[in-house]
Amino acid sequence: MAGVRLSGVTKRYGAGITVLDNIDLEVHDREFMVLVGPSGCGKSTVLRVLSGLEPVDAGEIRIGDRVVNDLAPRDRDIAMVFQSYALYPHLTVFENIAFGLRVRKTPKQELARLVGEAAEVLSLSDKLEKLPRHLSGGERQRVALGRAIVRKPQVFLFDEPLSNLDAKLRVQMRAEISALHKRLQITTIYVTHDQVEAMTMGERITVLNGGHIQQTDEPLTLYNTPANRFVAEFIGSPPMNLMSLTKKDGVFQYAGHPLPFTGNTGAAEPSLDTVLAGIRPEHVDVAEGGGGLPAQVVLVEPMGGETIVYLALEDGTRLVAKIDGMRRFTLGETLMVTFDHQQIHWFDPRTERRISL
């Protein structure tokens, strides 16, 4: 059992491209840490430097109490599930799972027992003699998991393991991987670009963008107090609405409209002339009359339990509202929009950092 700590880790490809820029990340022993960010932000690179497949240009990597910077992948006691699964095509399921054990010269009987156990946990017992190419996508995924868990390493690294599965299987495997983690209690770093996966699976989540860590927190903390504009927009679906407000007569206003939220706004950083207000779709309400900002209905997505309404304000700014239940809306109709003013997030438009009132 071991925690993982990256301190000041920097990784460059060639001279120009800095893929990881001074990353500090601590993953506790037994923790399930999700690393989330858009494609190309450096998530896989974090796993690759952690596993030793790529050297770092600066910084220190610790697994447990060992500095592993100079250790080869095989000496780091980690297991990795690749996005492509990377199953050995010429070996049966049994041999794929047994591969790491054989390399470590595990005695025959123990090897058979361990592989059998792993196969049992992953419902692969009747597939052991098959070759990977005769398996379905979900089964291949399980074999890749089996190969990782059978060795009981100190750390699991998952690189977007579910991205090749269809939606239904993805939801199922999500739960299975979470259950597996509860059972095995092995420190896990799980990479995904899907914020739903991150929110549902992570004990803590690290948001990465452009090779920088944006925020590390528990899922709900991340959702309720995003540290900056990027996190605010990245976490949550549909994404958070952002409106630029300008101060006039000591009060922040939107496009000259008297704002539906008052009072609290005046207390924002007094030096700022403009602020970004972030409002989650579920905190936007619409009504057929009364006060608020007038907005036109552009698109309606009835989801059953809730309805997503896309609105256009008078200056063309788009807003998304998530309305409980199945209220009916007509395209083109004008509604009055109000916000739950307790739930507004404020960001400095220059630094894009969160500011508090």
Partner 1 sequence: MAMGKKMTSAIVHLTLILATIVTIYPVLQVISISLRPGDSLYSTSLALIPEGATLNAYKTILFEKPFLLWMRNSLLVSITVTILGVALASTAGYAFCRYRFPGRGIGLMSFLISQMFPATMLLLPLFLLLKKVGLLDALPGLVIAYVATALPFCVWTMKGYYDSIPVDLEEAAMVDGLTQIGAFRKVTLPLSAPALMITALFSFITAWSEFMVARVIIQSLDLYTLPLGLESLAGTFQTEWANYSAGAVLVCIPVVALFLALNRYLVSGLTLGGVKG
Ligand X SMILES: Nc1ncnc2c1ncn2[C@@H]1O[C@H](COP(=O)(O)OP(=O)(O)O)[C@@H](O)[C@H]1O
Site of tokens 């579910």 = 162
Amino acid at 234: F
40 binds, among ligand X, partner 1, Mg ion, none (CB under 5 to 8 A by kind): ligand X
32 beta partners: 188
Residue 175: CB minimum distance to ligand X, A: 24
Site for partner 1 contains 88 (CB under 8 A): yes
What is the DSSP track for 62-115? Answer: EETTEE-TTS-GGGS-EEEE-TT----TTS-HHHHHHHHHHHTT--HHHHHHHH
104 binds, among partner 1, ligand X, Mg ion, none (CB under 5 to 8 A by kind): partner 1
User: How far, in Å, are 99, 146, 172, 196, 288 from residue 168 at the CA level?
Assistant: 30, 21, 6, 14, 38
Query: Rounded to 5 degrees, what are φ and ψ at 212?
Result: -115, 145
Half-sphere exposure of residue 264, counting CA atoms within 13 Å on the CB side?
14
Residue 83: CB minimum distance to Mg ion, A: 6
Candidate segments 24-32, 98-106, 164-172, 218-226, binder of partner 1 by CB under 8 A: 98-106
Angle at 225 between CA 224 and CA 226, to 5 degrees: 110
Give contact residues for ligand X (rule: CB under 6 A): 13, 17, 19, 37, 39-45
The C-alpha atoms of residue 241 and residue 73 are separated, in whole angstroms, by 44
The C-alpha atoms of residue 280 and residue 224 are separated, in whole angstroms, by 10
- Specify whether the CB–CB gap between 23 and 51 falls below 8 A: no
The residues, ordered by sequence, that sit 6+ positions from 294 with a Cβ below 8 Å of its Cβ are 313, 314, 334, 335, 336, 337
- Closest CB to partner 1 among 108 and 133? 133
Site for partner 1 contains 13 (CB under 8 A): no
DSSP 166: -
Residue 191: CB minimum distance to ligand X, A: 7
280 binds, among partner 1, Mg ion, ligand X, none (CB under 5 to 8 A by kind): none
39 binds, among Mg ion, partner 1, ligand X, none (CB under 5 to 8 A by kind): ligand X
The C-alpha atoms of residue 20 and residue 209 are separated, in whole angstroms, by 10
Q: Using CB atoms, what's the residue nearest to ligand X?
A: 44
Candidate segments 47-55, 172-180, 245-253, 312-320, binder of partner 1 by CB under 8 A: 47-55
Residue 230: CB minimum distance to ligand X, A: 14
The C-alpha atoms of residue 77 and residue 69 are separated, in whole angstroms, by 13
Q: Which of 72, 256, 325, 330 touches partner 1 (CB under 8 A)?
A: 72
Site for partner 1 contains 78 (CB under 8 A): yes
Candidate segments 32-40, 66-74, 209-217, 280-288, binder of partner 1 by CB under 8 A: 66-74
Site for partner 1 contains 122 (CB under 8 A): no
Amino acid at 261: F
Site for partner 1 contains 17 (CB under 8 A): no
Residue 44: CB minimum distance to ligand X, A: 3
* Residue ranges binding partner 1 (CB under 8 A): 51-53, 72-74, 78-80, 82, 84, 86-90, 99-100, 103-104, 132-133, 147, 151
